[in-house]
Amino acid sequence: MLELMLCSMLTVLPDYLYRRFAQGKRFGREITLYSVWYELRWGITTCLMLTVSLITIIFYNHPASTNVTAYFRTVSILPEAVGRVAEVYVGVSDHVEQGQPILRLDDSSERAAVEAARRRIEETDASMIVARSDIAVADGQILQAAESLQQARDELKTKQELNARNADVVARREIERLQNVVDGRQGALAAANAAREGAQARLDSLLPAQKASAVAALAQAETELAKTVVRAGVSGRVEQFALKVGDLVNPMIRAAGVLIPDNAGRERLIAGFGQIEAQVMKPGMVAEATCISKPFAIIPMVVTEVQEYIAAGQFRATEQLIDARQVQQPGTITVQLEPLYEGGLDGVPPGSSCIANAYSSNHERLAAGDLGMMQAFYLHMVDTVALVHALLLRLQALIMPIQTLVFGGH
């Protein structure tokens, strides 16, 4: 409507003034309701053509979108294993700091595992004490076997010397018996040494390895026990947290609740502009937005990122081929808008619906001075008509509360 009024002032109004003062035709006489379409045909036709051209230029070079939302990401409150809730530390709506406990699952099996691991460590320590005692016993047995062996060798040596002097003094069978005794006691000494080496190896290698395994099992059990307490990964607010003691929580099926991080949805707006404006939308463009949750306010914004992909064209690989007709509506160009000034989105709740305009600027091209006269005039006109779009946005900001409260019935 505003474009039509502006164009009529340049077309219909001059045509009427010519008819009125040059031709002397007046409303109610020569110009009536039935003849106005013929009398002002040049002005009306030119007005319609100029209006359509102006609207096209405005909306192409200065895109607008009503698909603007302050999106925010929520964090699911999930344990790492299935469990039944034993204790809840926060209320239905509460603020939590990073690392603060939110809920605790039943941990009887995890505590039992921790206690069993601790007992295994104590058992290993006791086994080490026993191994040291076994080494002491083996040392005594080695000493005893060495003394017995030495005694048997001395006896054998004495008998052998007597037999060498006089063969009739000591019987040969006696010497063989003593030799067998020496051999047996050597075997006993070797067995005692082997027993000591086994006990020492058990003390030095086996038991430390068993203790290390028990310590690792204790650490794992304590880790599993710590997982039963679900803590906040980030600082934020827990909303609509209706979890009760006794509820079953499953990380694959049922989450315990959601956590909204601090400042979520307060840094930027996500807007969807038409695909026809893909060549116009560029990072750095100045924009403006007005949100229904903050009426009568125009928020200066800037385009910080233009997504290169259109979400409507994505698909997941399945066992069926994709039919292009499944895309019912053309997707939009996803654009991120950030406040031009700090605190620009203060007072705008995350998730708010907004309207946004983006404005093209040809100042640098015009300042370069290497354009032709017609091209420079056109670019000047493009930058000038951005004012019309800015006025439209302000009119929308004024009408939006009335339209919502009065005509919307809210």
- For 199-321, list the strands marked E by DSSP: 229-231, 236-239, 248-249, 257-261, 269-273, 286-291, 294-306
* Phi (first) and psi of residue 242, to 5 degrees: -100, 25
The residues, ordered by sequence, that sit 6+ positions from 353 with a Cβ below 8 Å of its Cβ are 68, 69, 291, 292, 293
Average pLDDT over the chain, rounded to an integer = 83
Confidence band, pLDDT 50/70/90 cuts, at residue 272:
very high
pLDDT in tens, 194-243: 887 887 888 788 888 888 888 999 999 888 888 888 888 889 889 888 88
* Phi (first) and psi of residue 320, to 5 degrees: -115, 145
In whole angstroms, give the CA distance from residue 114 to residue 216. Answer: 11
Between 306 and 189, the more confident residue is 306
* Phi (first) and psi of residue 25, to 5 degrees: -85, 140
In whole angstroms, give the CA distance from residue 389 to residue 355. Answer: 12
pLDDT in tens, 25-55: 777 777 777 777 767 778 778 888 888 887 8
Q: Which residue has the tokens 């001395």?
A: 154
Q: Which residue has the tokens 């463009």?
A: 285
Q: What is the dihedral of CA 202, 204, 210, 214, to 10 degrees?
A: 140
In whole angstroms, give the CA distance from residue 151 to residue 51. Answer: 128
**pLDDT number for residue 124:** 87
**pLDDT number for residue 159:** 65
| Strand order across the 94-96 sheet | 75-77, 257-261, 236-239, 94-96
| Strand order across the 229-231 sheet | 229-231, 101-105, 83-88, 248-249
Yes or no: say if 202 and 131 are a contact pair by the CB < 8 Å rule.
Answer: yes
pLDDT in tens, 51-91: 888 788 888 888 999 999 998 888 888 888 888 888 898 88
pLDDT in tens, 358-387: 998 888 888 887 878 888 888 888 888 888
- One-letter amino acid at 118 equals R
Confidence band, pLDDT 50/70/90 cuts, at residue 271:
very high
What is the reported pTM?
A: 0.68
Q: Which residue has the tokens 């907004």?
A: 354
Mean pLDDT along residues 388-402? 87
**pLDDT number for residue 164:** 67
pLDDT at 107 over 80: yes
Confidence band, pLDDT 50/70/90 cuts, at residue 306:
very high
pLDDT at 410 over 60: no
**pLDDT number for residue 2:** 64
Long-range interactions of 306-309: CB distance < 8 A, separation 24+: 306/281, 306/282, 306/333, 306/334, 306/335, 306/336, 307/333, 307/334, 307/335, 307/336
Yes or no: say if 245 and 88 are a contact pair by the CB < 8 Å rule.
Answer: yes
Yes or no: say if 270 and 303 are a contact pair by the CB < 8 Å rule.
Answer: no
pLDDT in tens, 164-183: 666 566 566 766 776 777 77
Yes or no: say if 121 and 209 are a contact pair by the CB < 8 Å rule.
Answer: no
